[in-house]
Structure 1
Amino acid sequence: MAQRYDIAVAGGGPAGSAAAWHAARAGARVVVFDKAEFPRDKPCGDGLTPRAVSFIQKMGLAAEVDKFHRVNGARIFSPSEWALSFPRRPGMPDHGYVARRTEIDSVLLKQAESAGVEVRQGAEVVGAIVDDDGRVTGVELKTGERVLAGAVIAADGAYSPVKRSLRLASQYNGYSAIAIRAEMSIAGPETDSLDIYLKLAFQGDQLPGYGWVFPLGGGRANIGLGYCNSYKKWHQINATQLFGEFLSSLPRELDVPRIDELRESRALQAWRLPMGFTAWPPWRPGVLFAGDALGAARPVSGAGISKALQSGTAAGECAVAALTNGGPDDFTNYAQRVRSDWGAEYRRGRFFHRLVGIPAVANTGIKVLDAVNHPGFRSRALFWEGWR
């Protein structure tokens, strides 16, 4: 006989852990499935913005997140250097952190478990269970086990098996970025900034993307780059080669490894990042999408952890509210919340995503950023919303 829960969460990353924690705190019986055994790594820039930190703090993890390497702002190289501080906002930290996904994801999942969530690691969800009316009623595992639930929250990543099993499409499916990164040793003093390099070129074209150097502390850093697929020749780019060129352009005093050394040590990780809502509407009867399964990352910056936490929080709360007051056929409350919180920002972001794919526009934009010495303008021009 299949087990039954109030809510089944596919994926134990930040979105899934936040969804499960909030749902369990509201009194729901919750189970989380993840195909990996934790700790496990995920390709990511590892940067926690102040907003991401605020969501983690609200889960009762202020002391735990404070153990990671703190950053107080960003340095932008375009190629001139200028600084952006994180703004002070009521009820929110004015700093961020850089945290390995092996560590922060384990902390979040453990916190969900401490709230009463049943966590099943090494349990791979391969698809949704759907009834005769087309409503999702649970998930099926790779072992063949079927688990029933009042609602399913799909937080199972960019290649979401739940979403694929439902054969869903979205008008925003084409919005994505390609990224590559590696953790490595660097020389020099420890810094407290997220370093972002806007001059990123391919065959003379300015790319819609950027490179980064995010300090992890202890002489280590997460270094990588990403670019949007709005650039018409994006499929011609060899990401590893481009990354090697970026590494060679960094200041010599950092003494970063050569690309062939990173390749030999298997430190390189590349991934596709869906953004701008690749599942819209963000729910179907019986199921809600969060994190990369939703395509929650910001266009064009690609910031994903804060949006994973935010979408997971909303999905967990809205799922419980709907199940309590109306049932699993209608999660309109979730769509309303997502649209209210991010709708205008993401509409602008998708437009910007397309616009900066034109090299002349991207190059002009960088020149304007260099010429206009105003932190607020620069922050909004880069990220469309300041440091949120």
Structure 2
Amino acid sequence: MERVDVAIVGGGPAGTSAAERAASHGAETVLFEQGVPREDRDALGPDSTDAAGILDYWIDIMDFDYREIPDDVIHRELEATEFIGPSSALELTTTGIDASYPKFGYTFHRTRMDDWLHERATDAGAEIRIGTSVTDLETNLRASSPKGPTHTLTLSSGDQLEAQYVVLADGPQRRVTIDALDQFTPPGRSISNHLSPPEANHIAYQEYREFPPELFEEFDDRLKFWWGYIPGETAYPWVFPNDGTVARVGLTMPIGMRLEDVDNPSSYVLLEPDDETLPSGSEYITRLLEREYGDEYDVETDIPIAEDRGKSKGTETYPISSTRPIDSPVGANIAVAGGAMGATSAFHEGGYHVAVRTGKIAGRLAATDSLEHYNELWKRAIGDEILRNVAFADIVEDYEPDDWDRAFDVVTDMQADGADDVLLSKRYSAGLDAMKILAGYKKRKYRYRNGNYVQFVEDQYLY
């Protein structure tokens, strides 16, 4: 049987970052990626789907010098983001967090970024096997290895491989992660209770659209989000500018939500009185574009889908983790990274940055026989980001359209009052509503302090 030091399941940003770190620290490393076809990639590769935007401080979370990221990865440098409610709007020109990158952020070519991470891993000495997936993982807790438990991976080819350490980075779908971790969970405490994709994820849909040049100029240096336009917790459409005059127009929403689950459906801009079910993602996008630009443009003719992009003729559907993270069973020599562990978030449209960083930490520790420190170190690296995300997600959990308008008005007042970091500021002079938002934010952050945002902790595993 083939044997390696570190086996990695999944070739997205977490997996390839883990492979690069493990190989660069001298470990014999192999990564398995089942591979999917894309219109913008000649060969099989990872499922390179998300809105593909990076904020300034996210680059520091990834532990990259922004100058090392290839120029052809970057689409647009950003100056701002716009949040649009049914009746109010808000522009932010700063994240309010110190960062080395000099702009607000950038949009990027997700496929090229993933391929660059693959090149880094290969250059470091990792072996990447695209087109080979892992179908089963069994752990031998009583292995004779001086380094503790070992693992047998069964591959789609039928072959098997033994590894000393495993990094699970199979994304929000968690095809291998859930069964692999359930080897160590108490009866009735399956990891699927916490990370089952239909319950723990949102679904996202996006289209690559070619805009008229004069229209594209309206958002060529900014992200746009529409809040309170569609129902569902952290459900919203967006526009992200890409190369040329192409933009990604998409949305995220809870999986399995039904129209009968919606309170006050008439209050949502993109729902119509004769709807018998919630619209599909493509219908939502058509309605958004018609509402925003239909007075001056024929949407399907003037803003067509760019069919040479994405997974399928200019469109793509993909899951986004929308839950809180779990610890890894490091006592079994397993680390879980990125979307597979629930570290990414639908609140900020995925989480490429936390996937990269957790992958880097897992790969380095696995290669240096120090994986027992993983749960401590990933919290130190991304804990503040997770804390912000879960606190904000809690605050807006039950927001309806009027709540978004009210919140945007409050933040606008706070900006006028001189609070640059409007979401984290301690300035209360913008009024009672501002005090309520800030107090609610502080209360939720206090609830989740000291890693209490973790929903399945390390000592709950049984070895």
> Using the alignment, how far apart are the partners of 1:144 and 1:59 within structure 2?
41
> Which of residues 77, 80, 101 is equivalent to 1:71?
77
Displacement after TM superposition at 1:87 (Å): 5.8
Q: Deviations over 1:41-76 (max 9, x none)?
A: 532101133344446773897151465223233231
Q: 1:314-369, CA deviations, whole angstroms, 9 ceiling, x for partnerless residues?
A: 11122223x2x5xxxxx441111122333455345334324423134555433423
SS in 1 for 2:239: strand
> Structure 2 unaligned runs (5+)?
36-42, 144-148, 183-189, 263-276, 426-436, 443-463
TM-score using structure 2 length: 0.69
* Residue 410 of structure 2 corresponds to residue 368 of structure 1: yes
Assess if the C-alpha contact under 8 Å between 2:73 and 2:113 holds in 1: no
2:253 to 227, 234, 253: 227
The number of residue pairs the alignment matches comes to: 373
Structure 1 residues 202-213: aligned runs within 5 Å: 202=230, 208-213=234-239
Structure 1: gaps of 5 or more residues: 326-330
Bigger mean CA offset, 216-225 vs 173-182? 173-182
Deviation of 1:138 after TM superposition, in Å, equals: 3.7
TM-fit CA distance, 1:32: 1.1
> What code does the residue aligned with 2:18 have?
A
Give yes or no for contact 2:95–2:421 (8 Å, CA) kept in 1: no
Question: Where does residue 297 of structure 1 map in the other structure?
Answer: 344
- For 1:259 and 1:138, locate their aligned partners in 2 and report how far apart those are by CA, in whole Å: 54
Is 1:147 the counterpart of 2:172 in the alignment?
Answer: no
CA contact (8 A) 1:213 1:221 kept: yes
Q: Report the Cα distance in structure 1 between the residues aligned to 2:55 and 2:175, rounded to whole angstroms.
A: 28
What SS is found at the alignment partner of 1:243?
helix
Pair 1:31-2:73 in alignment: no
Match of 1:184 among 196, 206, 209: 209
- Corresponding residue for 2:454? none
Does the 8 A contact of 1:199 with 1:206 survive in 2?
no
Shift of residue 375, structure 1, vs aligned partner = 4.0
Q: RMSD across aligned C-alpha pairs, in angstroms? A: 3.6
- Match of 1:377, as an amino acid? V
Of 110-119 and 62-71, deviating more is 62-71
| Residue of structure 1 in register with 2:284 after alignment | 242
8 Å contact kept, 1:176–1:274:
yes
Q: Report if aligned partners of 2:80, 2:223 keep a CA contact under 8 Å in 1.
A: yes
DSSP-derived class of the 1:58 partner: coil
Does residue 156 of structure 2 align to residue 109 of structure 1? no
Which residue pairs with 2:186 in the alignment?
none
Compared CA separation, residues 278 and 239, structure 1 to 2 (3 A): farther
State how far apart, in whole Å, the 1-side matches of 2:97 and 2:392 are.
26
Q: TM-score, normalised by structure 1?
A: 0.81
CA distance in 1, matches of 2:411, 2:301: 31
Tell me the SS of whatever aligns to 1:300: helix
1:350 aligns with 2:375: no
Deviations 1:262-303 (A, max 9, x none): 599743322221134454346461211111111121352234
Q: Which amino acid aligns with 1:308?
A: A
How far 1:120 sits from its partner (Å)?
A: 1.0
In 2, the alpha carbon distance for the partners of 1:90 and 1:273 equals 25
Mapping of 1:278-293 within 5 angstroms? 278-281=325-328, 283=330, 285-293=332-340
Match for residue 273 of structure 1 among 320, 326, 335: 320
Q: 1:256 to 1:316 in 2, by over 3 A?
A: farther
2:357 pairs with 1:310: yes
Residue 341 of structure 1 is matched in structure 2 by 381
Once the two structures are overlaid, the 10-residue window that deviates more, 75-84 or 123-132, is 75-84
Structure 2 vs 1, CA of residues 75 and 143 (structure 1 numbering), >3 Å: closer, same or farther? same
- Report the CA distance shift for 1:269/1:283 in structure 2 as closer, same or farther (over 3 A): farther
